[in-house]
Structure 1
Amino acid sequence: MSPGEAHVAPYSRRERLRIATIREIKDVARTLLVQEGPENVTIRAIAREMGMTAPAVYRYFSSRDALILQLRVDIFEEMARFMRGVLGQHPEEEPGRRWISGARALRVWAIKHPHEFGLILGPWAPGLGREETKPERHMSWVFGSVFSDLVADLWRVRGFPAPEVEELDPGLARTLTVLSEDQDVDMPPGAIAVMLRCWVRLYGVISMEALGHMSFALSEGQHFFEFELRDLCRVLDISEFYEEVV
């Protein structure tokens, strides 16, 4: 910096205070989510914890739905970062191993953060930001693209068994073609159908365990998860990369 050049802060003091307050509001909201459940994440409860009035909190978030939606965006991004960190341990030339590691990483994150997982990928409760459909579709795909990219890489590098488009129901083929075009998924409709089948099964077994819906039958879910994961490896023709977890 030259002698006469003044240092210009990226944000004014007021803007920095606003950013810090928004961060604190979201931190308090997440603490309430974990400790008391999503129904207790309210503007009034957050204001009470922060020593503010509810109208003061509304200056930062126009509604509870707006706050919940932003909280969900942050958690989606956090989960995606965690998974990408795990995936980074394997070279891109090994999409089979990357997919297996990604599946296990999703389960680890969900088990460690069941309340957050329930908020972003669990069953809906009224007033949890669902009204904001367009942003919701966007952030869901931000996370979903982690797995779709892995399967697309697998398809590109070595392929896997998939039905021809003529074997699909015409309505399903059209829907999958639109999905491919809208989300830039570089796979034919049959391969996308296999990708979605694997995602539904993977999501189902993880969410049921993380949200406590398997406890009636299983004292712990890892062995059943691995049972399903091993079968999904057969579906994607990557069984050679599957290794037992000790």
Structure 2
Amino acid sequence: MLPAAFGGGVVATTRRERLRAALDRDLRRSARRLLVGGGIDAVTLAAIAREVGITPPAIYRYYRSRDDLLLALAEDLIGELVGELRAAAAKFPDERPDQQITAMIRAFPAWATRNRAEFGFVFAAPPPVAGHLHREITEAWTIAVGGAFGERYLRLWEQQPFEVPDESELEFGLSKQLEGYRSVVRLDPMPLGAILVFVECWSRIYASISFDVFGLLSTPFPDMSVMHERMCRAICERLGISYELPAAPERD
């Protein structure tokens, strides 16, 4: 998380602080518009300054560099996604982590297809940014998105454990990496075999969304919604969750 002085969540109390916070939001919103309109290369401090109506040097009062501003934008997008995932889960009681997980699996592609450029900025492989910025963005979404799913996944495991590989079957190198991932997403009570299943389920979600957002199968599959649903059904089967068809959309 960025320090408060550099866009990391300023708590505005005085009029001056409120104006400062408002301009900070404008900077990040401008960065997002430029990202959607022209890709990551269009997100320059000069372009943001023109949109907001300030001089480029004034941005340095809020962010130490373009990278810092991009990281703040990424954190905004990750927060928005996690908010939608949690809102989808909140439609079901905590006693039904199976239904919460299913709702979140469906909510993720829905957000990604509405925000294709934003998904590409945060989740693309190879990423549009490199070096420390890529590492920090990846760490941020791993913790936030993995944690949102992991919270329900752990509850499901505690309620109804499902079949997972025995730890003795896992290669040493894989086990060490799974241990690290388990710590990052705070699933420490779970066996490594269950962590492996968690990662495998994530890989299915990511692949399904990537095929859609990046148009990898756009010619034969212009509408990936049915494939997304098949992915959701497959994960439910793997976790021993009773699969239910999505609710019909409400009509006006």
Could you say which residue in structure 2 is the equivalent of 1:103?
A: 105
Q: Secondary structure at the match of 1:131?
A: helix
- In structure 1, how many angstroms separate the alpha carbons of the residues matched to 2:33 and 2:203? 29
- In structure 1, how many angstroms separate the alpha carbons of the residues matched to 2:200 and 2:12? 47
Greater RCO (Cα-Cα under 8 Å, separation 6 or more)? 1
User: Residues 40-68 of structure 1, C-alpha deviation per residue, up to 9 Å, x if partnerless?
Assistant: 01101011112222111222211111110
Seen in structure 2, the aligned counterparts of structure 1 residues 205 and 244 have a Cα distance that, compared at 3 Å, is same
Could you say which residue in structure 1 is the equivalent of 2:62?
A: 60
Could you say which residue in structure 2 is the equivalent of 1:209?
A: 212
- In structure 1, how many angstroms separate the alpha carbons of the residues matched to 2:136 and 2:224? 34
Q: Secondary structure at the match of 1:241?
A: coil
**Identity of paired residues, percent?**
33
Seen in structure 2, the aligned counterparts of structure 1 residues 245 and 209 have a Cα distance that, compared at 3 Å, is farther
- In structure 2, how many angstroms separate the alpha carbons of the residues matched to 1:126 and 1:171? 28
User: Residues 156-181 of structure 1, C-alpha deviation per residue, up to 9 Å, x if partnerless?
Assistant: 11111101101111221222223324
- In structure 2, how many angstroms separate the alpha carbons of the residues matched to 1:10 and 1:121? 31
Instruction: Identify the match of residue 33 of structure 1 among 22, 32, 35.
Output: 35
Seen in structure 2, the aligned counterparts of structure 1 residues 136 and 218 have a Cα distance that, compared at 3 Å, is closer
Structure 1, 175-184 or 195-204: larger mean CA deviation:
175-184
- In structure 1, how many angstroms separate the alpha carbons of the residues matched to 2:221 and 2:89? 29
Could you say which residue in structure 2 is the equivalent of 1:114?
A: 116
**How far 1:209 sits from its partner (Å)?**
0.5
Could you say which residue in structure 2 is the equivalent of 1:148?
A: 150
Structure 1, 79-88 or 47-56: larger mean CA deviation:
47-56
- In structure 1, how many angstroms separate the alpha carbons of the residues matched to 2:59 and 2:12? 24
Seen in structure 2, the aligned counterparts of structure 1 residues 130 and 211 have a Cα distance that, compared at 3 Å, is farther
User: Residues 84-130 of structure 1, C-alpha deviation per residue, up to 9 Å, x if partnerless?
Assistant: 01100011111111111110011111111111111111231246x85
Seen in structure 2, the aligned counterparts of structure 1 residues 198 and 135 have a Cα distance that, compared at 3 Å, is closer
- In structure 2, how many angstroms separate the alpha carbons of the residues matched to 1:199 and 1:29? 29
Seen in structure 2, the aligned counterparts of structure 1 residues 203 and 139 have a Cα distance that, compared at 3 Å, is closer
Could you say which residue in structure 2 is the equivalent of 1:17?
A: 19
Residues 122, 138 of structure 2: 8 Å contact kept: no
Seen in structure 2, the aligned counterparts of structure 1 residues 67 and 121 have a Cα distance that, compared at 3 Å, is same
Instruction: Identify the match of residue 234 of structure 1 among 233, 237, 242.
Output: 237
What letter matches 1:189 in structure 2?
Answer: L
Could you say which residue in structure 1 is the equivalent of 2:224?
A: 221
**Structure 2 unaligned blocks of 5 or more:** 1-10
Could you say which residue in structure 2 is the equivalent of 1:77?
A: 79
Instruction: Identify the match of residue 88 of structure 2 among 86, 96, 115.
Output: 86
Seen in structure 2, the aligned counterparts of structure 1 residues 154 and 55 have a Cα distance that, compared at 3 Å, is same
- In structure 2, how many angstroms separate the alpha carbons of the residues matched to 1:29 and 1:14? 23
Q: For the pair shown, which has the larger CA radius of gyration, 1 or 2?
A: 1
Residues 74, 137 of structure 2: 8 Å contact kept: no
- In structure 2, how many angstroms separate the alpha carbons of the residues matched to 1:86 and 1:126? 30
**How far 1:217 sits from its partner (Å)?**
2.5
User: Residues 194-239 of structure 1, C-alpha deviation per residue, up to 9 Å, x if partnerless?
Assistant: 010000111111122023222132011011111222122211111x
Residues 177, 188 of structure 1: 8 Å contact kept: no
- In structure 1, how many angstroms separate the alpha carbons of the residues matched to 2:28 and 2:228? 32
- Moved beyond 6 Å, runs of 4+: none
Could you say which residue in structure 1 is the equivalent of 2:8?
A: none
If the length of structure 2 is used for normalisation, what is the TM-score? 0.86
Task: Map residues 138-177 of structure 1 onto 2, 5 A cutoff.
Answer: 138-177=140-179
